[in-house]
Amino acid sequence: MYIARHEQILKILSLLREVSVPELSDRLAVSEVTIRKDLSTLEETGCLFRTHGGARIAEDFRLIKTIDIRQRENLPAKQALAAKAKELLSNGDTVYLDSGSTCLMIAREIRDLNLHVVTNSIDIMADLSGAQHIILHSLGGSYRKESGAFIGPAAVTNLKEFQFSICFLGTTGFSEQGVFSSQNIIESEMKRQALVNSTRRVVAADSSKFGISAFSIFARPGDIDILVTDDKFSGTSAAALAELGIETIKGLIS
């Protein structure tokens, strides 16, 4: 259960980035046992990352947007790249769809295909649950409402049991140097595991994400095969990524 003390812990972590159990115990005037229980609860919800003797912030709370907000942002670009992403799929593929608004757009494009789809996104599960030819697999874990997804150790363990023809991952930001990043360390762990288990590795990101550097890096050159984006992404930047071995394909915004 989320309580007022949890909010205090997160405020302290937002300022200090990392803090020990004894320091939190002193600041909040509760036992170290209680603090450890609080940290375990907050780690399960994706708010922090446990360290030896303390905790580290899992994300920059100042930049967090809810999934509802993100679904409304840059919608034409996301729809364009989602249509292009569909071209990478063949009937019979086993696909991992990451959480996030862009991957949700991809899910809506592929409803008519014959696929196995694995996802940690509750919105994608709901959207594909009625798709006639899609066999849907959900990942367990701790539900993180900010992203509408299941994350954490249980989700990562479950993810390790699958082998994918292709994965589609969202990103908070990416650079010309081929660095892809997320706001949450625990979500990044999910993305890294999906990359390990996938034959073709795809990041789906509209052009507004270019040049943004987020809290946690989940991929570098060599980890990604394809970037699917929209036609506002510059050819010069696409050429720079090509030099790193990352192919760029662009959907046309209508």
User: Across the 254 residues of the chain, what is the mean pLDDT of every consecutive 10-residue run?
Assistant: 78 83 92 91 77 81 52 79 96 96 95 97 94 94 83 90 97 95 88 97 96 90 97 94 97 86
- Together in a domain, 45 and 142: no
- Together in a domain, 154 and 83: yes
- Together in a domain, 131 and 40: no
Strand partners of residue 20: 54
Q: Please answer whether residues 68 and 42 qualify as being in contact, where contact means their C-beta atoms are separated by less than 8 angstroms.
A: no
- Together in a domain, 45 and 77: no
Nearest to 191 by CA among 129, 147, 136: 147
Question: Domain with 13 in it: what CATH number?
Answer: 1.10.10.10
R_g of the chain computed on alpha carbons: 19
Q: Given 58, 83, 100, which residue is the final one in a domain?
A: 58
Q: Please answer whether residues 118 and 94 qualify as being in contact, where contact means their C-beta atoms are separated by less than 8 angstroms.
A: yes
Residue 185 identity (one-letter amino acid): I
State phi, psi for 222 to the nearest 5 degrees: 100, -20
Rounded CA gap, 233 and 67, in Å?
23
Q: Given 36, 58, 80, which residue is the final one in a domain?
A: 58
- Together in a domain, 80 and 193: yes
| Chain centroid, CA 22 distance in Å | 32
Number of domain units in the chain: 2
- Together in a domain, 52 and 78: no
Rounded CA gap, 184 and 189, in Å?
9
- Together in a domain, 26 and 104: no
- Together in a domain, 26 and 116: no
- Together in a domain, 27 and 104: no
pTM above 0.95, yes or no: no
pLDDT at 69: 52
Residue 213 identity (one-letter amino acid): S
Rounded CA gap, 226 and 168, in Å?
10
- Together in a domain, 31 and 100: no
Q: Given 13, 34, 58, which residue is the final one in a domain?
A: 58
- Together in a domain, 173 and 217: yes
- Together in a domain, 223 and 240: yes
Read off the pLDDT of residues 153-205 as tens digits, 9 standing for 90 and up. 889 999 999 999 999 999 999 999 999 999 888 889 999 999 999 999 999 99
pLDDT at 247: 97
Domain of 45?
Answer: 4-58
pLDDT at 66: 52
Question: Domain with 210 in it: what CATH number?
Answer: 3.40.50.1360
